[in-house]
Amino acid sequence: MIKQSFITVAIIFGIVSASTNKDSIRIVNSGSTNTAGYTITVERTGSVTWIVAPRVRPVISSTTPASSTTTRNSIQLSASRTNAIFEAVQQTLPFTQYKPVFCVKSVSFGTTLHVQYRGEQTPDLSCPLKDERLIILSKYVQSLIADLHIQTFG
Residue count of the chain, please give it. Answer: 154
Average pLDDT, the chain: 82
The stretch 20-36 carries a mean pLDDT of 87
CA dist., res. 147 & res. 40, Å (int): 12
Q: Among 5-9, 18-22, 88-92, 134-138, which is the least confidently predicted range?
A: 5-9
CA dist., res. 103 & res. 32, Å (int): 15
Most confident of 31-35, 102-106, 135-139: 135-139
Q: How far is CA 88 from CA 2, 45, 53, 130, in A?
A: 44, 16, 27, 16
pLDDT digits (tens, 9 = 90+) for 74-101: 999 999 999 999 999 999 999 999 999 8
* 74 Cβ contact partners less than 8 Å away, ≥ 6 residues apart: 47, 48, 49, 50
Q: Do residues 126 and 114 lie in contact, with contact meaning Cβ atoms separated by under 8 Å?
A: no
pLDDT digits (tens, 9 = 90+) for 98-124: 999 899 998 888 999 999 999 999 999
